[in-house]
Amino acid sequence: MAAADLPSADAVLEHVLTAPAAPAPLDGLESWWRGHLLFAARFWLPIDLAFAAGFAADRPGYAFASGYQAAGATLVAALGPKGASVAAARPLALCATEEGGAAPRAIRTRLVRAPDGALRLDGQKTFVTLGSFAAELLVVASEGERDGRNRLRLVRIPRERAGVVVAPLPEAPFVPEIPHAALVLRAVRVAPEELAPGDGYDRYLKPFRTVEDCAVHAALLGWLVGVGRRSGFGRPLVEGLCASFCAVRTLALADPSAPATHVALGGVLAQAARDIAALDTEWPRAEAVVAGYWQRDRALLAVAGRARAARLEAAWRRLGAPPG
């Protein structure tokens, strides 16, 4: 889609700056999902959806969930109209991490062709975000090695498909509202139209890390704008959060595989971290329960920090710059 066809940021910025900044209490994932769908109908661009839904969340965990879903929306678009329409109405989860991690060489889940010609999935995933709530699973699987490389594909299957076993994992110490699960796949049937076109790593898994960084930060920035407005944090701080969102939004629309995008994103996320740190003296103004959520959940921003740093260093190397 051409840049001229994309909506400007005006509508979503006006929404978070003028809509009532008093989110309705959410009593679980079902109520969060109903609210998320309302914003999905209004803001179809995933990064805008993340910002608006984050603003409406009553805690960081549900803001994160909307950012994660917005990131997943960029994957289902490649599955064609049917895949996109199904996932738009049903929560989804990316299933990549295995015992050895999520690098291509660690993926042992296999996509194989049975003697009758049908495609089957077999394997295990050790950590799936929203795994016990998601209705659509985006599974990264191996087709075997070719030219010395583990060839991956992305497959969309419904969680209720025969052979899919979901095992909930213990609550995390932060954002405990968001469930995680292990996944076992036993001869799970795959229809041809459930295969995403192209390489599963280069086209989906690798870019997803960048897309998720943008969407989750946008959602948390939206949540902080809401807290700042209703708690009287002051205009300059709210302005800084909105400015950080605009920068994140710009990069969310850029090529997630380009090294220049990663260099710019490194700077944008560092600036967002400074804007968020500037709020530290303001939290006594917020409701105690809201400030408590933040103190418990702010560690979310540090998740995958080492991977982001490695991605940034690799981007500089690809651009021919000396090590930092």
Alpha-carbon span 259 to 208, nearest angstrom: 14
Amino acid 142: pLDDT: 97
Radius of gyration of the chain (CA): 20
Q: Is pLDDT of 311 > 90?
A: yes
Nearest to 150 by CA among 112, 185, 199: 199
Joined together, the tokens standing for residue 280 give: 């530290």
Share of the chain above pLDDT 70, in %: 94
Please check whether residue 130 is in contact with residue 93, taking contact to mean a CB–CB distance below 8 angstroms.
yes
Phi, psi of 278 (to 5 degrees): -65, -15
Q: What is the pLDDT of residues 273-302, one digit of tens each?
A: 999 999 999 999 999 999 999 999 999 999
Q: What is the pLDDT of residues 84-140, one digit of tens each?
A: 444 568 999 999 999 999 999 999 999 998 888 889 999 999 999 999 999 999 999
**Residues 6+ away with beta carbon under 8 Å from 210:** 256, 257, 261, 262, 265, 311
Q: How many residues does the chain have?
A: 324
Please check whether residue 227 is in contact with residue 244, taking contact to mean a CB–CB distance below 8 angstroms.
no
Share of the chain above pLDDT 90, in %: 85
Instruction: List, in sequence order, every beta strand (DSSP E) within 59-148.
Output: 92-95, 110-113, 119-129, 136-146
Q: How far lies 272's CA from each of 245, 266, 276, 282, in Å?
A: 8, 10, 6, 16
Nearest to 82 by CA among 191, 178, 199: 191
Domains and CATH numbers, the chain: 3-74+203-318 (no CATH), 92-199 (2.40.110.10)
Alpha-carbon span 203 to 198, nearest angstrom: 7
SS3 190: strand
* Beta strands 180-190; 164-168: pairing state: antiparallel
Please check whether residue 240 is in contact with residue 277, taking contact to mean a CB–CB distance below 8 angstroms.
no
> How many angstroms from the chain centroid is the CA of residue 21?
24
Amino acid 4: pLDDT: 56
| Residue 248: CB atoms within 10 Å | 24
| Residue 113: CB atoms within 10 Å | 11
Q: Is pLDDT of 80 > 70?
A: no
Q: Is pLDDT of 322 > 80?
A: no
Helix axes 206-231, 60-76, angle to 10 degrees: 140
- As a 3-state breakdown, the chain gives helix, strand, coil percent values, each rounded to 5, of 55, 20, 25
Amino acid 107: pLDDT: 97
Average pLDDT, the chain: 92
Q: Is pLDDT of 3 > 90?
A: no
Q: Is pLDDT of 225 > 70?
A: yes
Amino acid 115: pLDDT: 82
Amino acid 323: pLDDT: 63
Picking from 47-61, 110-124, 150-164, 250-264, which range would have the lowest pLDDT averaged per residue?
A: 110-124
* Mean pLDDT score, 227-238: 96
Q: Which one-letter amino acid corresponds to residue 195? A: L
Joined together, the tokens standing for residue 120 give: 């089957």
Binned at pLDDT 50, 70 and 90, residue 83 comes out as very low
Q: Is pLDDT of 56 > 60?
A: yes
Q: Is pLDDT of 205 > 80?
A: yes
Q: What is the pLDDT of residues 238-271, one digit of tens each?
A: 999 999 999 999 999 999 999 999 999 999 999 9
